[in-house]
Structure 1
Amino acid sequence: MNCLKAAFSVFGGMILLSGCVDMPHPFGDPGPEGRRLALTTPPPRLAVPTPPDSLLDNTASAFWAREVATQLVDQALPAVAQPAKTGDWWLRLSATMQGNEVTPHYIVMMPNGEARGHWDAAPIPASVWAQGQKPVLTSLAAASAPQISAVLTGIQAAMMQADPHSLKRRPAKVYFKGVRGAPGDGNVSLARAFVASFPDQHDKLQNTAKDADYSVEGVVTLSDGPAGTTGHPVQHIEIAWRTVAADGKEAGAATQLHDIEAHSLDGPWGDVAMVAASEAAGGVHQIITNYSGRDHKPLPPETAAIKK
């Protein structure tokens, strides 16, 4: 067996998000410089107060705020329908009428009272809006949540861009813990191959866990498969490259699965280790990119027109 044709899949970590992690850590610590530029570190939640200028009655306004918060939670964002407190980031909801239509507005507010991001929903007939019907407001909140998430993604990316210590401005420091559970010389061969394959311009290995942004460990699991019809039993092999962030949360796992001839890897792994480790390195790079959000586009500065 000269190569391991592993089935390879990357499982996203926060969730604050789904799949490829489109909106990771909207309220993560942006670092010292980012904190200075933002005036305060974003809190672990986004307040969504009942809007006073929604063109709805109080009951419908409160329902709209609750539905928006609920939909944002479904987007893996820690939103809470409550009044904004001192030091909070919060979402200002409002609505304006033009002709026979009402346009709902969403503005992300910083703790210092400045607007940092906004999005407008599609206009709704004024006669429909005035009724404040729950299905209409629920549908609006569901449609708006992904766009609000995108705005928050851009805000986080802008904060990262302003922070010289963020992973937009420097390579990630990665501590490799090695490989365990492999038969034959797999623990050593896989580890050596991973160390050789992994470093690039985005991620660097270091020898200690101190100050590491991420740690990576390879875990090999082997189980017996069916005997087979040709008298050649097989084994199932799984290699999980677990990537853990500095805060202890799992960022993701690059998992390779394959059926091999039983005991064919009980000795030297040879080229199998290099192929597996090379694929794994690419997967771990992607996990770190997704989890950190370092490839997200920064939100441009606000214009005076929306600072209302």
Structure 2
Amino acid sequence: MRPLATCLGMAGLLLLAACGDLPHPFAGDPGGIGPRLAVPPPTRLAVPSPDAAMLPASGATLFAADIAQSLLAQEVPAVQQPARPGDWRLQIAASRQPGGVVPSYSVFGPGNDLRGTVQGAPVTTAAWAAGNAQALAAAASEAGPKLADLLTGIQAAQMQSDPHSLMNRPAKVYFTGVTGAPGDGDLSLARQMAVSLPDGGNVIQNTARGADFTLRGVVTVKHLDARTDHVEIVWTVTGATGAEAGKVAQLNDIPAHTLDAYWGDVAVVVAREAAGGVRQVITNNSGRAHKPIPPPKAGTPRPGTLPKA
């Protein structure tokens, strides 16, 4: 086996790449594909056909459907239909401005309380008035990311006000350990991850009960030829519901049999760098990275209404 000093030099290379669509946590994008905070907080967002958006009836129905599809593409559980009791609701309105017709979108909570509003890009007056399908589809596509950000901010505000949310307490992580590593890798990597991951925002526990996230590590070693091994380490984070929250991958080609016995300082470096990516995945899924949007001030006119004189 190669000396530990040489192995430690190799470890730096092991941290540089990721496979497929996994994030590159050690190349400036830790946990970058951690899924968006689930929004809105309830199970769905109703998108009724607007009756005050200056659209023909057929255009209003079409635009509501387009908005719902655009939200679904942003992983927002939206449905094009009138709101039912307990639903969150998206109200679509529009106003004539110098650049054309500007759509606006307002989110209401289950109690019919206004939570936030965002404007879309202008659409030509003629295309809007005609309910032009292509123009409406483009407007909906442009609005989707804006609405997803708005909903994320609304949920972040709710979490900020909840003392039990992950914005106000450490995340509890159940670490199941590492499997598949040659030599003492399973034990060495697990020990070093248990040391590296905890910080002010995350703690490790040894049972699944009450855990906010579960973390597991899997090592795969493939012998490419007599002189080269391909090592891949994937750290998978799942949420309390069992849904995958994100992955961090480390891989590289190394001299054959380098890690057949002892990992030593290699495990220290690998776990330390991987912990940074895991922390970012948890942050992305805890709401901590999102800026809360405060509720509108009392007396703010609702969309489609005129302020009192």
How far did 1:111 drift? 1.0
Letter matched to residue 244 of structure 1: T
Q: Residue 283 of structure 2 aligns with which residue?
A: 289
TM-score by length of 2: 0.87
Q: Assess if the C-alpha contact under 8 Å between 1:25 and 1:292 holds in 2.
A: no
How far did 1:128 drift? 3.0
Letter matched to residue 38 of structure 2: H
Matches within 5 A, 1:1-308: 1-3=6-8, 4=11, 5-6=13-14, 7-9=16-18, 11=22, 20-21=33-34, 23-28=36-41, 42=42, 44-98=43-97, 101-227=100-226, 233-303=227-297, 304-308=299-303
Pair 1:190–1:21, CA change in 2 (3 A): closer
Offset from partner CA, 1:93-135 (integer Å, 9 cap, x none): 1123357842211000111111101112233343332111101
Letter matched to residue 302 of structure 2: K
Offset from partner CA, 1:42-61 (integer Å, 9 cap, x none): 2x211100011111111010
- Structure 2 portions without partners, runs of 5+: 1-5, 24-30, 304-309
Offset from partner CA, 1:53-103 (integer Å, 9 cap, x none): 111111010000001111111111111111111110010011233578422
How far did 1:8 drift? 4.5
190-199 or 60-69, which moves further after superposition?
190-199
TM-score by length of 1: 0.87
Offset from partner CA, 1:187-213 (integer Å, 9 cap, x none): 111111111111111111112111011
- Structure 1 portions without partners, runs of 5+: 13-17, 29-41, 228-232
Offset from partner CA, 1:142-199 (integer Å, 9 cap, x none): 1111111111011011011011111110110011111111111111111111111111
For 1:289 and 1:100, the matched residues in 2 are separated by 40
Letter matched to residue 132 of structure 1: G
Letter matched to residue 155 of structure 1: I
Pair 1:199–1:21, CA change in 2 (3 A): closer
How far did 1:22 drift? 7.3
